[in-house]
Amino acid sequence: MDHASSEGTVVVITGATSGIGRATAFRMASPEVRLVLVGRNEQKGIEVVSRIRSSSPQCICKFLRADLSSLTEVRELAARINEHHDRVNVLINNAGARFNHFEQTANGLERTFATNHLGHFLLTALILDRMLNAPAARILTVGSGAHFGVNGTPSWVLQRADYERRLAYGMSKLANILFAYELARRLSGTSVTSNAVDPGGVATNLGRNNGWTAWLRHLAYYAAKRELITARQAASHIAYLALADDLTGVTGQYFRDGKVVASSPASRDRIIAQGLWSLSLKLTGLEASVGRAWKYLQPADPL
């Protein structure tokens, strides 16, 4: 990947204070990379930045606090990124959450969908102008094999009576992959690529919101299949996808273990993708004020 700039390679990572995001930040820390780490917990963010500066003194690293489930905070986050960087080379949409019980955001949205999909949709859209400024930029959206459990056309915005945590999480991960693919199609011919990443069964704290029993069951499932990997291993694959020269121009793919694999039929459904895109525009309130990026974001003609 082209690193030629006085600013270095600007990498934005969401969910960077724990798990895969944290491990990816450490894996990518180098003198050539300028890290922008995003997370909800200020104390954890400061700690991660301090540790990275100790282990990689020449790496420029900063933390920006934002809750991805809050559209207001995402807008503020994007404004800060745009203010301090004239371009962004890599965006890793990694932040994710699962909730045992139905929760609503201040905007009245189910929190899993808001955190895992809508926050990343809005952030990507608002900093896309900066990514188009880069000679070669990459957007990586972290999905999950959980998307295979969602069939048919999802009811994206769950209500309290419909809520089931596995369904909510699976739908949010399907949304991540549909978003990555649709974005790749829309950005075809530009300097920006978009791909989805399945990190596999990783031993992180992601499922702790479900309670200890569910979290341990999740780990046991992948351990029994001999597919449980560490956050460091997952981070290594993500860092490769973010920076490897041999992946220049590769877009619209679903990766696992650094290799292209097949995603579900639903994830490749253009009609579902366009419906999700239109809904996401409506729920986030995106409009032409985002600048030239609107050309790639505006509603598409129906298929």
Q: Which residues are catalytic?
A: 169
The tokens of 207 are what? Answer: 């499922």
Query: Would you call 227 helix, strand, or coil by DSSP?
Result: coil
| Structure tokens, 89 | 């080379």
Neighbours of 42 (CB within 10 A): 12
Query: For residue 132, what are its two tokens?
Result: 């188009």
Nearest to 235 by CA among 68, 42, 52: 52
Strand partners, 37: 13, 63
Cβ(128)–Cβ(192) below 8 Å: yes
Q: Hey, is 195 helix, strand or coil? A: strand
Number of Cβ within 10 Å of residue 138's Cβ equals 26
How many whole angstroms separate alpha carbon 299 and alpha carbon 192? Answer: 19
Tell me phi and psi for residue 280, to 5 degrees.
Answer: -65, -40
The b/e string for 72-100 (b: 16+ C-beta within 10 A; e otherwise) is: ebbbebbebbeeebebbbbbbbbbbbbbe
Tell me the three-class secondary structure of 26-71, residue by residue: HHHCCCCEEEEEEECCHHHHHHHHHHHHHHCCCCEEEEEECCCCCH
Q: Specify the amino acid at residue 82.
A: N
Question: Residue 163 in contact with residue 107, Cβ under 8 Å?
Answer: no
